[in-house]
A = this chain, B = another copy of it.
Protein backbone atom coordinates (compact mmCIF):
# COMPACT_ATOMS: atom_id res chain seq x y z
CA UNK A 1 0.00 0.00 0.00
CA UNK A 2 1.41 3.41 -0.96
CA UNK A 3 1.97 6.23 1.49
CA UNK A 4 -0.98 8.01 -0.05
CA UNK A 5 -3.22 5.00 0.45
CA UNK A 6 -2.10 4.57 4.04
CA UNK A 7 -2.85 8.19 4.68
CA UNK A 8 -6.29 8.09 3.08
CA UNK A 9 -7.02 4.87 4.93
CA UNK A 10 -6.05 6.38 8.28
CA UNK A 11 -7.88 9.64 7.78
CA UNK A 12 -10.97 8.58 5.90
CA UNK A 13 -11.41 4.97 6.94
CA UNK A 14 -12.70 3.68 3.62
CA UNK A 15 -12.86 0.06 2.48
CA UNK A 16 -9.99 -1.44 0.48
CA UNK A 17 -12.10 -1.44 -2.61
CA UNK A 18 -13.02 2.21 -2.25
CA UNK A 19 -9.44 3.03 -1.38
CA UNK A 20 -7.96 1.68 -4.55
CA UNK A 21 -10.60 3.47 -6.62
CA UNK A 22 -9.83 6.75 -4.90
CA UNK A 23 -6.06 6.47 -5.06
CA UNK A 24 -6.20 5.56 -8.75
CA UNK A 25 -7.32 9.13 -9.46
CA UNK A 26 -4.12 10.55 -7.95
CA UNK A 27 -1.33 10.79 -10.51
CA UNK A 28 2.34 10.75 -9.51
CA UNK A 29 3.97 14.04 -10.46
CA UNK A 30 7.18 15.85 -9.72
CA UNK A 31 7.52 19.48 -8.81
CA UNK A 32 10.99 20.93 -9.21
CA UNK A 33 12.54 23.18 -6.59
CA UNK A 34 11.20 26.75 -6.75
CA UNK A 35 8.31 25.82 -9.01
CA UNK A 36 4.76 26.62 -7.98
CA UNK A 37 1.90 24.27 -7.24
CA UNK A 38 -0.47 27.23 -6.97
CA UNK A 39 -0.17 30.98 -7.30
CA UNK A 40 -2.05 33.87 -5.70
CA UNK A 41 -4.76 35.17 -8.01
CA UNK A 42 -4.86 32.10 -10.25
CA UNK A 43 -7.19 29.16 -9.85
CA UNK A 44 -6.02 26.19 -7.84
CA UNK A 45 -7.90 23.33 -9.48
CA UNK A 46 -5.89 20.47 -8.04
CA UNK A 47 -5.09 18.80 -4.76
CA UNK A 48 -1.69 17.34 -4.01
CA UNK A 49 -0.30 14.81 -1.56
CA UNK A 50 3.34 15.25 -0.63
CA UNK A 51 5.20 11.97 -1.09
CA UNK A 52 8.60 13.56 -0.62
CA UNK A 53 10.09 17.04 -0.50
CA UNK A 54 9.11 20.26 1.18
CA UNK A 55 6.53 22.80 0.13
CA UNK A 56 5.92 26.30 1.43
CA UNK A 57 2.63 28.19 1.45
CA UNK A 58 3.00 31.95 1.63
CA UNK A 59 1.39 35.23 0.71
CA UNK A 60 2.61 38.77 0.10
CA UNK A 61 1.42 41.34 2.60
CA UNK A 62 2.66 44.61 1.15
CA UNK A 63 6.21 43.74 0.18
CA UNK A 64 6.65 41.14 2.92
CA UNK A 65 6.30 37.42 2.34
CA UNK A 66 4.32 35.75 5.12
CA UNK A 67 4.77 31.99 5.35
CA UNK A 68 1.55 30.35 6.50
CA UNK A 69 2.66 26.75 6.50
CA UNK A 70 5.42 24.34 5.52
CA UNK A 71 4.28 20.94 4.26
CA UNK A 72 6.48 17.87 4.35
CA UNK A 73 5.77 14.28 3.35
CA UNK A 74 2.35 13.07 4.45
CA UNK A 75 0.65 16.44 4.06
CA UNK A 76 -1.92 17.47 1.51
CA UNK A 77 -1.31 20.75 -0.28
CA UNK A 78 -4.12 22.81 -1.75
CA UNK A 79 -5.51 26.30 -1.75
CA UNK A 80 -8.72 25.19 -0.09
CA UNK A 81 -10.65 28.36 -0.79
CA UNK A 82 -9.84 28.20 -4.49
CA UNK A 83 -10.35 24.45 -4.80
CA UNK A 84 -13.65 24.30 -2.95
CA UNK A 85 -15.24 27.57 -4.05
CA UNK A 86 -13.68 27.99 -7.50
CA UNK A 87 -12.36 31.38 -6.52
CA UNK A 88 -8.94 32.86 -7.11
CA UNK A 89 -6.21 31.36 -4.95
CA UNK A 90 -5.06 33.23 -1.87
CA UNK A 91 -1.71 31.49 -1.42
CA UNK A 92 1.49 30.89 -3.26
CA UNK A 93 2.39 27.24 -2.89
CA UNK A 94 6.00 26.65 -3.89
CA UNK A 95 8.44 23.74 -3.74
CA UNK A 96 11.43 24.40 -1.47
CA UNK A 97 13.08 21.19 -2.72
CA UNK A 98 12.40 18.83 -5.61
CA UNK A 99 9.15 17.10 -4.68
CA UNK A 100 7.26 13.94 -5.53
CA UNK A 101 3.53 14.54 -5.37
CA UNK A 102 0.37 12.61 -6.06
CA UNK A 103 -2.00 15.03 -7.71
CA UNK A 104 -5.70 14.86 -8.47
CA UNK A 105 -7.47 17.48 -10.56
CA UNK A 106 -10.86 18.90 -9.75
CA UNK A 107 -12.66 16.94 -12.43
CA UNK A 108 -11.36 13.61 -11.13
CA UNK A 109 -11.88 14.73 -7.57
CA UNK A 110 -15.57 15.19 -8.26
CA UNK A 111 -15.70 11.61 -9.50
CA UNK A 112 -14.78 10.30 -6.07
CA UNK A 113 -18.24 11.24 -4.82
CA UNK A 114 -19.72 8.85 -7.37
CA UNK A 115 -17.48 5.99 -6.27
CA UNK A 116 -17.67 6.48 -2.51
CA UNK A 117 -21.22 7.20 -1.47
CA UNK A 118 -20.38 8.91 1.81
CA UNK A 119 -17.49 10.96 0.40
CA UNK A 120 -18.96 14.38 1.23
CA UNK A 121 -19.32 13.18 4.83
CA UNK A 122 -15.68 12.07 4.92
CA UNK A 123 -14.56 15.36 3.42
CA UNK A 124 -16.55 17.19 6.06
CA UNK A 125 -14.82 15.23 8.80
CA UNK A 126 -11.41 15.90 7.30
CA UNK A 127 -11.96 19.63 6.99
CA UNK A 128 -13.43 19.76 10.49
CA UNK A 129 -10.24 18.12 11.74
CA UNK A 130 -8.18 20.74 9.91
CA UNK A 131 -10.36 23.42 11.46
CA UNK A 132 -9.65 22.25 15.00
CA UNK A 133 -5.92 22.18 14.24
CA UNK A 134 -6.13 25.79 13.09
CA UNK A 135 -8.07 26.68 16.25
CA UNK A 136 -5.12 25.39 18.22
CA UNK A 137 -2.78 27.43 16.12
CA UNK A 138 -4.74 30.62 16.82
CA UNK A 139 -4.61 29.73 20.49
CA UNK A 140 -0.83 29.53 20.44
CA UNK A 141 -0.76 33.14 19.30
CA UNK A 142 -3.23 34.22 21.97
CA UNK A 143 -1.49 32.46 24.82
CA UNK A 144 2.20 31.87 24.09
CA UNK A 145 5.31 34.02 23.70
CA UNK A 146 7.59 33.81 20.66
CA UNK A 147 9.96 31.68 22.73
CA UNK A 148 7.22 29.24 23.70
CA UNK A 149 6.04 28.95 20.12
CA UNK A 150 9.59 28.27 18.99
CA UNK A 151 10.13 25.58 21.61
CA UNK A 152 6.83 23.93 20.77
CA UNK A 153 7.63 23.67 17.08
CA UNK A 154 11.19 22.58 17.72
CA UNK A 155 10.04 19.80 20.03
CA UNK A 156 7.37 18.76 17.55
CA UNK A 157 9.69 18.55 14.57
CA UNK A 158 13.41 19.17 15.07
CA UNK A 159 14.24 18.01 11.55
CA UNK A 160 12.40 20.96 10.07
CA UNK A 161 15.09 23.28 11.37
CA UNK A 162 17.73 21.47 9.33
CA UNK A 163 15.66 21.28 6.18
CA UNK A 164 13.93 24.61 5.87
CA UNK A 165 15.46 28.09 5.60
CA UNK A 166 15.05 29.55 9.07
CA UNK A 167 13.60 32.80 7.79
CA UNK A 168 10.53 30.88 6.62
CA UNK A 169 10.11 29.12 9.94
CA UNK A 170 10.43 32.48 11.69
CA UNK A 171 7.64 33.91 9.57
CA UNK A 172 5.45 30.87 10.16
CA UNK A 173 6.00 31.30 13.89
CA UNK A 174 5.18 35.00 13.74
CA UNK A 175 8.59 36.44 14.57
CA UNK A 176 11.58 37.97 12.78
CA UNK A 177 14.55 35.86 11.64
CA UNK A 178 16.73 37.70 14.15
CA UNK A 179 14.45 36.75 17.03
CA UNK A 180 14.39 33.12 15.90
CA UNK A 181 18.17 33.11 15.70
CA UNK A 182 18.45 34.41 19.25
CA UNK A 183 15.90 31.96 20.61
CA UNK A 184 17.78 29.09 18.99
CA UNK A 185 20.98 30.23 20.62
CA UNK A 186 19.25 30.56 23.97
CA UNK A 187 17.65 27.11 23.76
CA UNK A 188 20.92 25.46 22.74
CA UNK A 189 22.55 26.31 26.06
Q: Which residues of A contact B (CB under 8 A)?
A: 59, 61, 64, 66-68, 80-81, 84-85, 90, 118, 120-121, 123-125, 127-132, 134-135, 137-139, 141-143, 171-172, 174
Q: How many monomers of this protein are in the complex?
A: 2
Q: What are 17 A-B pairs with beta-carbon distances under 8 A?
A: A64-B143, A66-B139, A67-B142, A68-B135, A68-B138, A68-B139, A68-B142, A80-B132, A81-B128, A85-B128, A90-B135, A118-B120, A124-B127, A131-B131, A134-B134, A138-B141, A141-B174
Interface centre among A80, A90, A129, A135, by most B CB within 10 Å?
A135
Distance of A129 Cα from B84 Cα, bound (Å): 9
